[in-house]
Amino acid sequence: MTTLIPVLGDQLSHALSSLAGQDKKTCVVLMAELDEETTYVPHHKSKMAFILSAMRHHANDLRSAGWTVD
């Protein structure tokens, strides 16, 4: 059975409790770039670009550490 672990843009940490103790071989980390998350309150465009870039870098770090990331 596969375990789905959602990770949001404000949860970019390798010490995230939802990852602790999980088997990397049976888990999929879900990260989504949702338009609704960037428009529900006004944000500077640079801030949104920084958050999305950080999410992509974190996803790559997780992949390098052996996680499956979608």
Q: What gap in Å lies between CA 12 and CA 8, rounded to an integer?
A: 7
Q: Which tokens hold the place of 38?
A: 């960037």
What sign for the dihedral angle of Cα 47, 51, 56, 61?
positive
Domain boundaries, the chain: 3-69
The residue among 2, 3, 19 whose CA lies nearest residue 59 is 19
pLDDT digits (tens, 9 = 90+) for 34-58: 877 777 778 888 988 898 999 999 9
pTM of the model: 0.85
Query: How many residues are there in the chain?
Result: 70
Q: Is the pLDDT of residue 26 over 90?
A: yes
Beta-sheet pairing, 3-6 with 27-30 = parallel
Fold of 3-69: Rossmann fold (3.40.50)
